[in-house]
A and B are shown apart, each in its own frame.
Chain A
Amino acid sequence: MKSLFLSCERWSSAIAMGGACAMLALAATLGMFQILMRFVFEEPAEWTEVLIRFSLIWMVFLAIPMAFRQGAMVSVDVLYRWSPPRLRRVLDWVVCLAALALIAIIVWWGWDYARRGGVQSMAGLESVSMFWAYLAMPVGGLFSVLGIVGNLIDPQRHELETAQ
């Protein structure tokens, strides 16, 4: 049961992460394209900025499942390092439930917000509905649920790699 869940979770987090990488690559390419348009073709494109913002938002929500999974979220871990193994396990549960509570809000209200946003169109890119931008929140949230539970079952702590 445990290993079945973990292998499902490995797939889901990897898919989300792949999406996040694609979004980052897309945003960087669009950034370069924007400068090229302005200087080489002297025709500033309005829609690149809009797309960069939204692809980066998708990147954020698609990468947080993996960040939760790997324990890469920045935290103040003084108590954790000073506590005995049994207390650590309690803290693991607390951390997991807290993250699930926040993600539940993001999924529930994010979906509501996306549905309401369906009537708006993106400023600067009028043919596309804002639904597709807001959708990042509930989708990323659902992937995160698996990542958070995965980290509870099989804890990892890779916080350092993501700090600035």
Chain B
Amino acid sequence: MTAVMISTMVLCFALTISVAVSIGLASVLGIQASNANMLISVKEMFGAINKFPLAAIPFFILAGNLMETGGISRRLVDFAKSIVGGVQGGLPMTCVLTCMIFAAVSGSSVATTFAIGAILIPALIKHGYPTSYAAALQATSAELGVIIPPSIPMILYGVSAEVSIGELFIAGFGPGILISGALMLFVWAYCKYKGWGKHDGDGRMPFGRALLKAGWALLMPVIILGGIYGGIFTPTEASAVAVFYALVVGMLIYREIGIKDLYAVLRKSALSSAVIMFIIANAGLFAFLITRAGVPDAIGHWLQEVLKSPAYFLLGVNAALFVIGMFIETSAAIIVLGPILAPVAAHFGIDPVHFGLIMVVNLALGMITPPFGVNLFAACTVARISLDRIVGHLLPFVCVILACLMVITYVPSLSLFLRDLVYAR
């Protein structure tokens, strides 16, 4: 039955049938093959999305879209520029820093690419950077959107592998700061070497004024994360607070969202959320069936025999996820693989929170690796260039992230230090 399910799923993927439908059909065939009652299909689908923590996904998507429409991104760009924009190569560094801050209000990389790229890619081109470099830089920096909390893939991992979302969020800071730091250092050195961006500091706002203008936007991560770790509300409730904060700032303070925009924002958010949650529904059914057949345990035992030590296991998982990430979208990969791999990682004595971070960072890398990389598509759309032109400039960025991934994998304390500090008791 398991063989039927997995081969059907892979075949459907290859035929460009959408991920949700592929997983659903494979499960339906699995039920048929094992002569079980078909009522299981709808029961498990419903059960998989009937979970309160999942409400954070539509809410964070809605909050992110409200912030994007509400003119937050432009103010954050000015703010980041006032900090790092003064040196040679300051504009690419601004891009990384803005993405890092925007990541703390949004849980999505694609939204980050569109919101920040729309402003910074044209600015980079105007300052003489090659278009393909600007697009590659933007696609890579936007990855931070899912690594720095709040993060939709982390919520998905938390729900599917039954790990605390609060702990995952706080564990994202170390890796997020590491990656931003490494990227900023890299673009700075690269610009020096290439001689680009000697006039990046032109038209920069003084720090104080930029801070004042971006203040309302910068307060949002403080409220959300402060609320979660201060024990005032759960991550799910924090997402509802984020929606109303973004709404109030966008409509009443910045006054850039009108009633007409509201329906468009709701519509876009409902659509994005439904696509993810429909995958979750089908993947829930799939996971139920393969767990009942004992597959995760079997894979676990097999992996334990083949890869004898945790270090080899992590290397193997990273290599596999890197390849999977090239073809499959991050959220879908996490929903399907999280429940299978997390128990195996636990067998090896790896902290499930640390393992979640490895999965998220690795699969986020999949967003910038062709042929299927959503950030690449988004950045190319904004920069109006074709996918093949971006690849050359992309390679060094991929190497930087890979190096960071290795550090994150083999230095668990980088992710777990803050978690242990906050959740010590």
- Assess whether B14 is in contact with A113, with CB atoms less than 8 Å apart: no
Asked if A74 is at the interface of the complex by the 8 Å CB criterion, the answer is: yes
B218 CB to nearest chain A CB (Å): 22
Inter-chain contacts of B281 with A (CB < 8 A): 60
- Assess whether B15 is in contact with A79, with CB atoms less than 8 Å apart: yes
Complex CA distance for A70 and B49, rounded to whole angstroms: 23
By secondary structure, the B interface counts as helix
Inter-chain contacts of B24 with A (CB < 8 A): 102, 105
- Assess whether A134 is in contact with B240, with CB atoms less than 8 Å apart: no
Complex CA distance for A81 and B16, rounded to whole angstroms: 10
A14 CB to nearest chain B CB (Å): 10
Residue from B41, B45, B54, B152 within 8 A of A164 (CB atoms): B152
Known contacts: A64-B278, A67-B275, A67-B278. The answer to whether A21 contacts B371 by CB under 8 A is no
The interface size of chain A toward B, counting residues with CB under 8 Å, comes to 60
Q: Mark A131-164, 1 if CB is under 8 A from B, else 0.
A: 0011001000000000000000000000011111
Inter-chain contacts of B107 with A (CB < 8 A): 164
- Assess whether B49 is in contact with A56, with CB atoms less than 8 Å apart: yes
**Restricting to B331-373, which residues have a CB under 8 Å from any CB of A?**
331-332, 371-372
- Assess whether B267 is in contact with A163, with CB atoms less than 8 Å apart: no
Asked if B116 is at the interface of the complex by the 8 Å CB criterion, the answer is: no
Complex CA distance for A63 and B43, rounded to whole angstroms: 20
- Assess whether A94 is in contact with B15, with CB atoms less than 8 Å apart: yes
B352 CB to nearest chain A CB (Å): 22
Asked if A80 is at the interface of the complex by the 8 Å CB criterion, the answer is: yes
Inter-chain contacts of B233 with A (CB < 8 A): 35
- Assess whether A53 is in contact with B270, with CB atoms less than 8 Å apart: no
Residue from A24, A63, A91, A137 within 8 A of B16 (CB atoms): A91
**Restricting to B127-168, which residues have a CB under 8 Å from any CB of A?**
146, 152-153
- Assess whether A163 is in contact with B374, with CB atoms less than 8 Å apart: yes
Inter-chain contacts of B152 with A (CB < 8 A): 164
Inter-chain contacts of B94 with A (CB < 8 A): none
- Assess whether B277 is in contact with A31, with CB atoms less than 8 Å apart: no
- Assess whether B20 is in contact with A74, with CB atoms less than 8 Å apart: yes
- Assess whether B16 is in contact with A77, with CB atoms less than 8 Å apart: yes
**Restricting to A88-124, which residues have a CB under 8 Å from any CB of B?**
91, 94-95, 98-99, 101-102, 105-106, 109-110, 112-113, 116
The interface size of chain B toward A, counting residues with CB under 8 Å, comes to 76
Complex CA distance for A58 and B58, rounded to whole angstroms: 13
**Complex: chain B residue closest to A137, CB-CB:** B42
Inter-chain contacts of A6 with B (CB < 8 A): none
- Assess whether B271 is in contact with A53, with CB atoms less than 8 Å apart: no
**Complex: chain A residue closest to B16, CB-CB:** A80
Q: Mark A47-62, 1 if CB is under 8 A from B, else 0.
A: 0010011101101111
Asked if B413 is at the interface of the complex by the 8 Å CB criterion, the answer is: no
Q: Mark B10-32, 1 if CB is under 8 A from A, else 0.
A: 00111111111110110010000
- Assess whether A164 is in contact with B330, with CB atoms less than 8 Å apart: yes
A145 CB to nearest chain B CB (Å): 13
B387 CB to nearest chain A CB (Å): 9
Residue from A31, A57, A63, A112 within 8 A of B59 (CB atoms): A31
- Counting chain B CB atoms within 10 Å of each CB, the highest count among A80, A137, A164 belongs to A164
Inter-chain contacts of B59 with A (CB < 8 A): 27-28, 31
- Assess whether A24 is in contact with B269, with CB atoms less than 8 Å apart: yes
- Assess whether A56 is in contact with B271, with CB atoms less than 8 Å apart: no
Inter-chain contacts of A35 with B (CB < 8 A): 233, 237, 240-241
Asked if B109 is at the interface of the complex by the 8 Å CB criterion, the answer is: yes
Asked if B423 is at the interface of the complex by the 8 Å CB criterion, the answer is: no
Beyond A77-B16, A78-B371, 16 extra complex contacts between A and B, CB < 8 Å? A28-B244, A32-B241, A35-B240, A52-B52, A56-B55, A63-B274, A73-B275, A74-B18, A76-B14, A95-B18, A99-B21, A161-B268, A162-B276, A164-B111, A164-B329, A164-B331
Interface residues of chain B, those whose CB is within 8 Å of chain A, are 12-22, 24-25, 28, 38-39, 41-43, 45-46, 49-52, 54-55, 58-59, 61-62, 107-111, 146, 152-153, 232-233, 236-237, 239-241, 243-244, 263, 266-279, 281, 327-332, 371-372, 374, 377-378, 381
Interface residues of chain A, those whose CB is within 8 Å of chain B, are 17, 20-21, 23-25, 27-28, 31-32, 34-35, 39, 49, 52-54, 56-57, 59-64, 66-67, 70, 72-81, 91, 94-95, 98-99, 101-102, 105-106, 109-110, 112-113, 116, 133-134, 137, 160-164
The 10 closest A-B pairs by CB, nearest first: A31-B240, A63-B274, A73-B18, A163-B374, A21-B266, A75-B18, A162-B272, A20-B270, A80-B16, A162-B275
